[in-house]
Amino acid sequence: FSNLRGRGVWRYSQAIAGNYKKIISINEGGTPLIRTRTGKEVYFKFEGANPTGSFKDRGMTVAISSAVNEGYKIVVAASTGNTAASAAAYSARAGLRIYLVLPKDKVAIGKLAQSILYGATILEVEGSFDIGMKAVIKLYKEMGLVYPLNSFNPWRLEGQKTIAYEITEEIGVPDYVFVPVGNAGNIYAIWKGFSELMNLGIIDRIPRMVGVQAEGASPIAKAIINNQEAPQFVENPETIATAIRIGKPVNWKKAMKAIKESQGTAIYVNDAEIMEAQRELARTEGIGAEPASVASFAGYKKAIEQGWVDRDNKVVMILTGHSLKDPDSMIRSSARRIVVNPDHLENIILGDLNASS
Ligand code: F0G
């Protein structure tokens, strides 16, 4: 790593496949790796610090650069929201026309607002993300002139693998990496990053990859837990973590390979555990992440409880998206909000002091 320059995704350009005459970048990557306040070797990789607030920007800079270099003028993506926001921003910067296929009424408001702001055309479909995904695959097979930005696009994963490089450069190889899993591209990308470092002889082992799904959308976790070769897809996925409300993950094979080859595992967490993890992360660590993102933290807590991860293990949790993506989820948190007479604010504080003394 010692002769690399710059920061962010393109710091690792030697390891990113493809030739780019022109790179479309908004300075993505280089996100903070935040150590837990307890001082243990437990870290949060805060992908909310990317330009559009999620890890998707890492892949989008590579995919959009590739689209531009190949001469495409029109791009398309199905999304639960974050891919949409990211694709819209990078397309705007590249001067491309973008169509987004979104599940109607199931995209968190912050993400929808971003997609509107960046000027995308928004096509809403009834039902889940999976229906949009299928439509995009069909469209791209039938209409060669549209470039697909979903994570079956290998360039996306090339960018996302830099998460592994950044972690290694900063703290070496963790014992475990916890990753929220939806369409299942990211866990594979991160594993690929670590594997490449090992093949280059830069590291001598890779971390166990732990995929965390939401219970109502957990085909991969259930396949791993039940030792099945392939997942049973979920027809009507449901979870408060709308970003990972996906029943038929396109990259399931890749994800299961990453999990197995790293001797990792997968688990699922329910919506209550997700919301509790979101609150705890915010109120004890001061870190705000959207519900899907904190699946990694909820999964870690479960692993500690079940005893297969130790508090002294070196662990990284990927927090995939910013809390502001989904204001509705935050407002659902228990809050202390008091209507007061503005002349008597001190009464509240004095009352608290009396109560605690
Ligand atoms: N976390 C967040 C915040 C996400 O937005 C996503 C995926 C994931 C985790 C899961 O990543 O699909 O690579 O397993 N969001 C996609 C989207 C599907 O359209 O924004 P994955």
| pLDDT at residue number 323 | 98
Q: Name the residue with tokens 């900063």.
A: 170
Distance (angstroms) between ligand 1 centre and the Cα of 25 equals 20
Written as six digits, the tokens of 11 are 């710091």
- Locate the ligand 1 atom nearest the alpha carbon of residue 188 and give its number: 13
| pLDDT at residue number 99 | 97
Residue nearest to atom 12 of ligand 1 (CA): 183
Distance (angstroms) between ligand 1 centre and the Cα of 81 equals 8
| pLDDT at residue number 72 | 95
Distance (angstroms) between ligand 1 centre and the Cα of 183 equals 6
pTM, two decimals, is 0.97
Chain segment 186-197, per-residue pLDDT in tens: 999 999 999 999
CATH 3.20.20.140 fits 9-53+156-331, yes or no: no
* Length reported for the chain: 357
Within 8 A by CB and 6+ apart from 79, the residues are 87, 100, 101, 102, 107, 129, 132, 150
What is the ipTM metric for this complex? Answer: 0.99
Note whether 125 and 102 are within 8 A (CB): yes
Distance (angstroms) between ligand 1 centre and the Cα of 250 equals 12
* pLDDT-above-70 percentage for the chain: 100
Site to substitute for ligand 1 among 320, 324, 329, most atoms within 8 A of C-beta: 320
Chain segment 159-184, per-residue pLDDT in tens: 999 999 999 999 999 999 999 999 99
Give ligand 1 pocket residues (Cβ under 6 A): 54, 56, 79-83, 151, 180-186, 243-244, 290, 292-293, 320-321
- Examine the pLDDT at 224 and tell me if it is beyond 90: yes
Q: Where are the alpha helices (H) located in the chain, listed in sequence order?
A: 56-69, 82-94, 109-117, 129-142, 154-160, 162-171, 185-199, 219-225, 252-261, 271-280, 295-306, 327-331, 345-356
Residues of the chain with CATH 3.40.50.1100: 9-53+156-331, 56-153
Q: Name the residue with tokens 């030739």.
A: 19
Which CATH fold would you assign to the domain 56-153? Rossmann fold (3.40.50)
- Locate the ligand 1 atom nearest the alpha carbon of residue 185 and give its number: 13
Distance (angstroms) between ligand 1 centre and the Cα of 350 equals 46
Q: Binding site membership for pyridoxal 5'-phosphate: which residues?
A: 82, 182-186, 320
- Examine the pLDDT at 86 and tell me if it is beyond 90: yes
Q: Binding site membership: which residues?
A: 82, 182-186, 320
